[in-house]
Amino acid sequence: MNFIVVGCGRVGAELAFRLFKNGHQVVVVDNNQNSFNRIHSDFRGRTVEGEALSADTFERAGMDKADGIAVVTNSDTMNAVIGHAVRAHYPQVKQVLVRNYDPAMRDMLESFGLQIVSSTAWGAERLQELLIDPSFRAVFSAGNGEVELYEMFIPAKWDGSAISDLMSGCNGIVVAALTRAGRAELPSPAAKLQSGDILTVSATLEGVTALRSHLHEGTEA
């Protein structure tokens, strides 16, 4: 697939190299030639120096042939304008993703109807989870962490309890899978838990916070 990365800071350089390593055609755009020095020396994609909002830059980058574009400059305003311009003038580009650098600017980006990724918000969410309880492991994050998929280990005190007992009073949670001895299944609410089981749940932050509290209440001596 053909991808364009606009902005060759640390995020852009890392993204471009990852895409290249996975076999994609990659073009990196930046207005500063020296920025391309951040890309790994094994990168064999193209680099285009120029203003990202210039029609000439878009043409040289091959925007008309792109399958997707990631706009990852350090300016949220610039990211929003570039993302909007690509969607308006190149509707054939299937994926238009923009980076949210400052969480305070997120509402502005969302007002453009753009698909945004906030490394700041996402990173803070992960750090919070690990500080609160490392026994809950986030394995997938949707959006910017509003809903996530967690793996949780069932302690001995919940052995023999039904999943519905564990979930009682916890809103914002959907049970996705139960793994026992390496084998996963889609469990019913009445399924009995065993010590050492891994329960996979989809949850909001509020939901997983309530579940943590309930789980630990059940493990108190």
* Average pLDDT of the chain to the nearest whole number: 89
Within 8 A by CB and 6+ apart from 215, the residues are 152, 155, 158, 166
Per-residue pLDDT of 106-151, as tens digits, reads 888 888 888 888 888 777 776 776 677 666 788 888 876 789 899 9
Whole-number pLDDT of residue 127 = 77
Whole-number pLDDT of residue 218 = 47
- The SS3 of residue 60 is helix
Per-residue pLDDT of 87-108, as tens digits, reads 999 999 999 999 998 888 888 8
Per-residue pLDDT of 1-32, as tens digits, reads 999 999 999 999 999 999 999 999 999 999 99
62: left (phi over 0), alpha (psi -120 to 50) or beta: left
Per-residue pLDDT of 199-211, as tens digits, reads 999 999 889 889 9
Whole-number pLDDT of residue 134 = 64
Whole-number pLDDT of residue 221 = 37
- Whether 140 and 168 have beta carbons less than 8 Å apart is answered as no
Q: Which domains does the chain have, with CATH numbers?
A: 2-117 (3.40.50.720), 122-217 (3.30.70.1450)
Whole-number pLDDT of residue 131 = 75
DSSP code of 104?
Answer: G
Question: Which two structure tokens, joined as six digits, stand for 66?
Answer: 């792109």
Whole-number pLDDT of residue 58 = 95
Dihedral sign, Cα of residue 6, residue 96, residue 69, residue 11? positive
Whole-number pLDDT of residue 220 = 44
Per-residue pLDDT of 35-51, as tens digits, reads 999 999 999 999 999 99
